[in-house]
A and B are shown apart, each in its own frame.
Chain A
Amino acid sequence: MSDIILNVQHLNKSFGSKHVLKDVSFSVERGHIVGLVGPNGAGKSTIMKAVLGLFNYASGQITIDGDAVSPISHQAMDKVGALIEYPGIYPFLTGMQHLKLFSKETTGQDQIDEIVDRMKMTTYIDRKAKTYSLGMKQKLGIALALVNQPKFVILDEPMNGLDPQANKDLRTIILDLAKQGTTFLISSHILSELEKLIDDLVVIDKGQIVYKESMATLESGGKRLLVVKTSDDDKATIILTQNGYQLDQTAGVSIIETDDTKMADVIKLLSDNGIDIEDVQHVHSDLETSLLELLKNDKVKES
């Protein structure tokens, strides 16, 4: 059990008569980066807040590193850093004062300086936060989540308002920390960014978990295609079909790749038949496609 850092079991939560979380169960392995995705209003932030002990929940159990978490049991939070919804910033304090205010006694100035440096905030860290742009506030929020070097970090939409460079920096930091053993639970709508980070995926829709698998499983589940553009697509299609290749009907000449599909064979076959190849592309379904497919199936019934 020790390789599980977060364990959520049968979590139920209602706001008034609206049942927002329905029997949610999932776990997060130590050192993994887990993506939590789902449509707006699916319950992502609600799950994160419950995990942070901000909510009372009707039933269920949440443990972090073996310690139960609820609004009245907060000891486990010592190991947790988080950024939820939007960063909470005091306009009258500077960025540095924020970091000092929220750092533990065991967190030294060198640790604070390191995170400021890595987030590239040195030029404005001593300015009052009321002068910060949205992106600067977001970076400060992330720095606050990371400053105490927590074992487990929860980030809700961390890429909000970040420029492309900051996005890349953040990705590097997250991957580095994960390598050193920090666990991340990240929600984001920017799936192309998320895809570059996460090991595991948890998909939530209408308050229910609809999918939880590793990224490797998700990727292997999708079709991989070899798309060729030729001088004579119709002829190419016929020849390929005759030679036992399976074609995908969606667009152009798309060969469904199997383990023994070899690009060289395809090229040779076509050129032997006098067809010129103009372009070849490998296409595999990305997170976005897989996710939209998943949510379209709509396994979840509204209740």
Chain B
Amino acid sequence: MITLVKQETYKLLHKKSTPAVSIALLIIMTAFGVLSKLYPKYWSAKNMFTTMYTGGSWVVLFLIAACSSIIAMEFQYGTIKELLYRKYYRGEILVSKWITMLIYSIYFYALVFVYSLILKVVLYNGNFKLTDTYANNQSIIETQLMNLIGQFLSVWLVLSLVLLLANIFKSTAAAISIGIIGYFALSVVSGLMFVLMQKWDWLKWNPLNMMNLPAQLTSDTYHKMTLLSTPEMICGSLAYTAIFMAISYVVFKRRSV
């Protein structure tokens, strides 16, 4: 299994897009840091920091693209046969890809976290302290960490769906578009969803509601909208992730190539 993860990492690192995406992320975060410094009217310094200078949102996009391509590229290049007719079990091949993506997502979140600290120190050293209270009786750094954890869990809910779709459609396009729409659809439909949930209580268990986790973790009133406690939401997110992963596993094992 370690060999397989190493091989997947080798492929990932040798793609031109991999370093390019990391560099782009740092440039975008720097740009937003500088903008919020120059125009504090539009962007509050503290708010910028807790949302990691928009880094979190970009990471979602990059991870959706990476997850769909790590599966679909093998079908596109015809390399799936070469991967499978070795001594390894099919399940191992798929799990090695998941582990690689897990490592990649941890890398990304560590990168945005550390870089947002660097930006804070460079641009706003005197402006605020990380221990200042932000909202909801949480300090700024706590808010940021909660945001990070919440995003990580809800992103993996989306990624598990993207991994499944890439597996079913064998194409990056479908998986990426549905992944992105799914993630960003929340802001569009959440108003309507909350209304419907008031009427039909069981709707609160739908996967889109689970994606409100980052908001709920940084607010003390959000649970009135989502109708779920924070532990319920965490369990729900993990359960959906596990379900999508399990379907993926079955589809991959049964596939004829």
Report A's interface with B, CB cutoff 8 A: 49, 52-56, 71-72, 74-78, 80, 82, 84-93, 97, 101-102, 105, 144
CB distance A77 to B87 under 8 Å?
yes
Contacts of B11 in A (CB 8 A): 90, 93, 101
Contacts of B257 in A (CB 8 A): 49, 54
0 or 1 for each of B69-91: is its CB under 8 Å from A? (1 = yes): 00001100111111011111110
Interface of chain A, main secondary structure: loop
CB distance B86 to A54 under 8 Å?
no
Contacts of A56 in B (CB 8 A): 254, 256
Tell me, yes or no, whether B39 is within 8 Å of chain A by CB: no
Contacts of B90 in A (CB 8 A): 71-72, 74
Tell me, yes or no, whether B224 is within 8 Å of chain A by CB: no
CB distance B256 to A54 under 8 Å?
yes
State in angstroms the CA–CA spacing of A84 and B74 once bound together: 15
How far does the Cβ of A123 sit from chain B's closest Cβ, in whole Å? 21
Pairs of residues from A and B, 7 with the lowest C-beta to C-beta distance, nearest first: A88-B79, A52-B85, A78-B87, A88-B78, A88-B82, A77-B87, A92-B15
State in angstroms the CA–CA spacing of A80 and B87 once bound together: 9
Contacts of A93 in B (CB 8 A): 11, 14
Determine which residue in B10, B84, B253, B254 has the highest number of CB atoms from chain A within 10 A of its CB, and name it: B84
25 contacts between A and B (CB under 8 A): A49-B256, A49-B257, A52-B81, A52-B85, A54-B81, A54-B84, A54-B256, A54-B257, A56-B254, A71-B90, A71-B253, A72-B253, A75-B87, A77-B85, A80-B85, A82-B81, A86-B78, A89-B77, A89-B79, A90-B73, A90-B77, A93-B11, A97-B10, A101-B7, A105-B3
How far does the Cβ of A49 sit from chain B's closest Cβ, in whole Å? 8
Tell me, yes or no, whether B41 is within 8 Å of chain A by CB: no
Nearest chain B residue, comparing its CB with the CB of A145:
B82
CB distance A101 to B86 under 8 Å?
no
Nearest chain A residue, comparing its CB with the CB of B10:
A101
Nearest chain A residue, comparing its CB with the CB of B74:
A88
Interface residues of B in 2-29 (CB under 8 A from A): 3, 7, 10-11, 14-16
How far does the Cβ of B252 sit from chain A's closest Cβ, in whole Å? 11
0 or 1 for each of B169-213: is its CB under 8 Å from A? (1 = yes): 000000000000000000000000000000000000000000000
How far does the Cβ of A41 sit from chain B's closest Cβ, in whole Å? 16
Extra contacts, 17 of them, besides A54-B81, A74-B87, A92-B16 (Cβ < 8 A), are A52-B84, A53-B84, A56-B254, A56-B256, A72-B90, A72-B253, A74-B85, A75-B87, A82-B85, A88-B80, A89-B77, A90-B73, A91-B77, A93-B11, A97-B14, A101-B10, A101-B11
CB distance B14 to A85 under 8 Å?
no
Contacts of A86 in B (CB 8 A): 78
How far does the Cβ of B178 sit from chain A's closest Cβ, in whole Å? 25
0 or 1 for each of B90-114: is its CB under 8 Å from A? (1 = yes): 1000000000000000000000000
Nearest chain B residue, comparing its CB with the CB of A86:
B78
State in angstroms the CA–CA spacing of A86 and B78 once bound together: 8
State in angstroms the CA–CA spacing of A80 and B84 once bound together: 12
Known: A89-B79, A90-B11. Is A54-B89 also a contact (CB below 8 A)? no
How far does the Cβ of B1 sit from chain A's closest Cβ, in whole Å? 14
How far does the Cβ of A64 sit from chain B's closest Cβ, in whole Å? 11
CB distance B82 to A144 under 8 Å?
yes
CB distance B256 to A55 under 8 Å?
yes
CB distance B256 to A88 under 8 Å?
no
Contacts of A53 in B (CB 8 A): 84-85
CB distance B256 to A87 under 8 Å?
no
Nearest chain A residue, comparing its CB with the CB of B81:
A84
Contacts of B78 in A (CB 8 A): 85-89
How far does the Cβ of B94 sit from chain A's closest Cβ, in whole Å? 13
How far does the Cβ of A3 sit from chain B's closest Cβ, in whole Å? 23
How far does the Cβ of A98 sit from chain B's closest Cβ, in whole Å? 9
State in angstroms the CA–CA spacing of A74 and B74 once bound together: 19
Interface residues of B in 135-174 (CB under 8 A from A): none
